[in-house]
Structure 1
Amino acid sequence: MLKNKRGRMFTAFTLTVSIIGGTLLTGSSAYAAAEVIQGSVAEVRTSSEAIAEWEAWAKDHAYKLDTIQPADSKAGAGQFKDLDMLKPLLYDKRIVFLGESSHGVSEFNLAKTRLIQFLHQEMGYNVLAFESSLGNTSLAYGKSGTQSAEQTMKDSIFGVWWTNETLPLFEYLKTTQKSEQPLAFTGFDMQLQSPLLDGAWLEDDKLALRLQEAEEKLSEFSAGTDLKAYRKEKSQLIQVYKDVLKSTRSESSQALLKKLYPHNPQLPVLLERSLNDRISVAKEYVEISIKSNTGMPGGDYTWFLKSMEWRDKAMLDNLMWLATDVYPTEKFIVWAHNDHIRKAQSDVMGSPYPIQMMGEMLPDEWKTYSYVLGLYPASGKTADNTRKVHDVLPLEPGSVESILSAAGAPYTFIDLRYRNNTRGNSWMFEPRYTYSWGMIPESLIARDQYDGILLIDEVNPPQYLSSSSSKPAE
């Protein structure tokens, strides 16, 4: 048992790159356990009369989307008419955060792609920032106009999103590069991911090889438990990145970058930032990660939580830098898990991550000009990060998903931000149950965490693509 920042007790479920370890409680037994743990949560209004009022309110006030299928470029005007209700909500917002309660949902990938198309075409959001490596996304974007959409996807984002349902996003990205309003693409994560940096932009082949070897070692150490061995090589690895950084700043390397990656004019500063991230990772994060890997098998999650907090602080720093230094006049769309973007993550009871994360760390001024949209399923099946399929647990009466599902639509959107507390919508102002990943019970105050929620009635696991690279377009 651990405590959140308010001193309340909660259960720390082990959810890292996959849902691992232990047996998750399900159904009413999970909720009973949560009520014991969370104390005051059990005291909120849950009578049949209250639930009926909430459900009736949801039926009257929820917006029902016509479709979540990405738009056809040939369809013409009117294809986003059902999303017009977002315009008054977002007209003054600099950042729109698109969340998801699971990385393994086909319909989330489709819905977010369509939302991105709408935001880009009709509201002038010209930068998409993904929960993936800053370096990988920036380099891949530099070739997005000439290589296949699938290759850009595989070169840029984590494999959990290598799906048929995400591919239309990258086809759209490629198409916009030839338009008067290209959609810029970047990432904000500091983690190493495949493909590792290969130094293709370096004129010094030996230095490029040193970089490749350093990337492999840093990746292996991050996933291992040998702290002593890492400390012996740490300074040498850091020096490699410093040497690469120095070489990257040379005029010849800058010229080669522009030649190899012609579609990303911002690449030199983005790559420099990414290399500085690597130096920070080598200095601090790898040791934290090794200690996390050592402690977790024995039930010690202290260093795991520290690693998550370190990562989210670095992601926020990158996002703020992108918004202020690289694209200071553009509006942003951010793609990430609900946990990363929620406005008060440390208050969520039962979360695997009972800490301040990126969305909670966001400065108040930026929160004013941001809109946080959480996505949830009501039924069906989801996949975890190992692609293992799980059932979405039956909804508990009075839960957020159950209330919104009363609207009786396949795709239900509700705005939380611009609501006053009334008897019919009081559910969003008090603790309510919800499921993370479709199966981890949490308790949260919806309006404290999100500005809006999109509920998908029935979901399915994605159709994953192979891990092998696709051939570039001719």
Structure 2
Amino acid sequence: MGNELKESIMKWSRPIEGQDALDELVDQASKAKFVLLGEASHGTSEFYSVRAELSKKLISEHGYRFIAVEGDWPACQAINSYIKDDENKRSPEEALKVFHRWPTWMWANKEIAELVGWLKDYNKTVPNNQKVGFYGLDVYSLWESMDEIVNYLKKINSPDLQAAIDAFSCFEPFNRSNETYAMSAGYLSDGCRSEVVELLASIRKSVRQEKLEPENALSLEVNALVARNAEQYYRLMVMSDAGSWNTRDAHMVETLNSIMNFHGKDAKAIVWEHNTHVGDARATDMQRVGMVNVGQIVREQHGTKDVFICGFGTHHGTVIAADQWGAPVKVMEVPPAQAFSWEDELFQAGDEDKLIIFTDENRKEFIKEIGHRAIGVVYDPRFEQFGNYVPSSISMRYDAFIFISQTNALRPILIDGG
């Protein structure tokens, strides 16, 4: 397999030198309504900086309307407001301090600060109805989203306020602890599901009937979605890995579709998430254990022609991560990729950075399932061979792949040691 795959890589890849290769990728990707940009870790500088360059081109040259990321809705909505507000003179680094929940470094970093600054400057050049947005798709912000809902309903003196207070009172005994709620709802009770489901239905009805400012209406609806889906996520977390994973990814797609509806039928979206979310799960061993993901669902809902997925990987370098959940972040060495993995095969075909675009002409040459490295926010390089490689049919999982041979750790904006 090695020689054949190496020959195919050498035949179909092109070195990333200057802007030509990225321009070719942007040209291909821009034909799609959804461009999904992955990453092999949450702590690699080049994954962020290259995605930023691609996103700038898609926005400025092809009219993409927003970037949606693997982040919490309330914090990302604060950044969305910041980049659209000409009067807000804070620095991007100061604005990013809104990301105060661990792992802060995923979005509070210098690479994102540069992109946020660019987005703010770009928005100064276009009319208000064409300003580019920055949104969070993730499901973790249960308590923050409940706070946002109550505060906004108070602000507009909404008749739904008391219903929201009553619904959220169900969560009070858990003292804003996801883990405590998960254990209780997973094993001991039905949790607070009926309350948040009813509240979401009520808020959606109100959004349709009342003349709310559009961006506020979107935020209210998505925060209610978070409350409903986060409740389910935490309830399933202690009982079913596949169930909680599927709830999270389905939520991210539901949120993405809500943002698309807000921007109109002609809108085009850029999504930043880990490879494990954007790379089609049907082309991995995830399918065998009943897991789905964002890439799969978006392709199924919108068709492969309207979805372009680009994966990312590296052979060796450094990364920032933690050795356990909630621990301080630190720079770690990323060892050379495991022999015969996708990353190793790319390196053996030449250690330069390279791009492969998969087409009908070459997909069959990259269809064999082999290991593909994935690094999370918790990482131990000593043991990565036991759990950091996802068997994948690369050309079915992605439409393109960017390989950065040697990468460097992301540069966090340090907040409370995080």
Q: TM-score, normalised by structure 2?
A: 0.77
Counterpart in the other structure of 2:374 = 436
| Distance in 2 (alpha carbons) for counterparts of 1:94 and 1:243 | 29
Q: Out of 191-200 and 398-407, give the one that drifted further.
A: 191-200
The 1:253/1:235 distance shift into structure 2, 3 A limit, reads farther
Counterpart in the other structure of 2:9 = 58
Once the two structures are TM-superposed, the CA of residue 217 in structure 1 deviates from its matched residue by 6.3
Counterpart in the other structure of 2:414 = 466
The 1:56/1:130 distance shift into structure 2, 3 A limit, reads same
- Alignment deviations for residues 273-331 of structure 1 (CA, whole Å, 9 cap, x no partner): 3224313444x333223xx1xxxxxxxxx512211111111212222232245432111
Q: Which amino acid aligns with 2:320?
A: A
The 1:367/1:106 distance shift into structure 2, 3 A limit, reads same
User: Which of residues 160, 185, 189 in structure 2 aligns to 1:227?
Assistant: 185
User: Which of residues 300, 308, 322 in structure 1 aligns to 2:245?
Assistant: 308
Q: Which amino acid aligns with 1:269?
A: L
**Structure 2 residues without counterparts, runs of 5 or longer:** 376-380
Q: Structure 2 matches for 1:302-451, cutoff 5 A?
A: 302-343=239-280, 345-349=281-285, 355-362=291-298, 363=300, 365-384=302-321, 386=327, 387-406=329-348, 408=350, 410-420=352-362, 426=365, 428-437=366-375, 439=384, 440-451=388-399
Give the count of matched residue pairs.
382
Q: Which amino acid aligns with 1:356?
A: V
Contact 1:127 1:332 in 2 (8 A): yes
**Structure 2 counterpart SS, 1:355:** coil
Once the two structures are TM-superposed, the CA of residue 64 in structure 1 deviates from its matched residue by 2.1
CA RMSD of aligned residues (A): 3.9
Once the two structures are TM-superposed, the CA of residue 186 in structure 1 deviates from its matched residue by 1.7
Q: Structure 2 matches for 1:279-294, cutoff 5 A?
A: 279-282=228-231, 284-289=232-237, 292=238
| Distance in 1 (alpha carbons) for counterparts of 2:8 and 2:194 | 62
Q: Which amino acid aligns with 2:368?
A: E
Counterpart in the other structure of 2:42 = 103
| Distance in 1 (alpha carbons) for counterparts of 2:58 and 2:174 | 38
Once the two structures are TM-superposed, the CA of residue 134 in structure 1 deviates from its matched residue by 3.3
**Structure 1 residues without counterparts, runs of 5 or longer:** 1-44, 68-79, 259-264, 293-301, 470-474
Higher helix share: 2
The 1:228/1:93 distance shift into structure 2, 3 A limit, reads closer
The 1:364/1:87 distance shift into structure 2, 3 A limit, reads same
| Distance in 2 (alpha carbons) for counterparts of 1:150 and 1:409 | 34
The 1:115/1:211 distance shift into structure 2, 3 A limit, reads farther
| Distance in 1 (alpha carbons) for counterparts of 2:144 and 2:415 | 11
The 1:161/1:269 distance shift into structure 2, 3 A limit, reads closer
Once the two structures are TM-superposed, the CA of residue 135 in structure 1 deviates from its matched residue by 4.1
Once the two structures are TM-superposed, the CA of residue 410 in structure 1 deviates from its matched residue by 4.5
Contact 1:59 1:406 in 2 (8 A): no
The 1:466/1:93 distance shift into structure 2, 3 A limit, reads same
Larger Rg: 1
| Distance in 2 (alpha carbons) for counterparts of 1:56 and 1:124 | 37
| Distance in 1 (alpha carbons) for counterparts of 2:116 and 2:151 | 23
Contact 2:286 2:292 in 1 (8 A): no
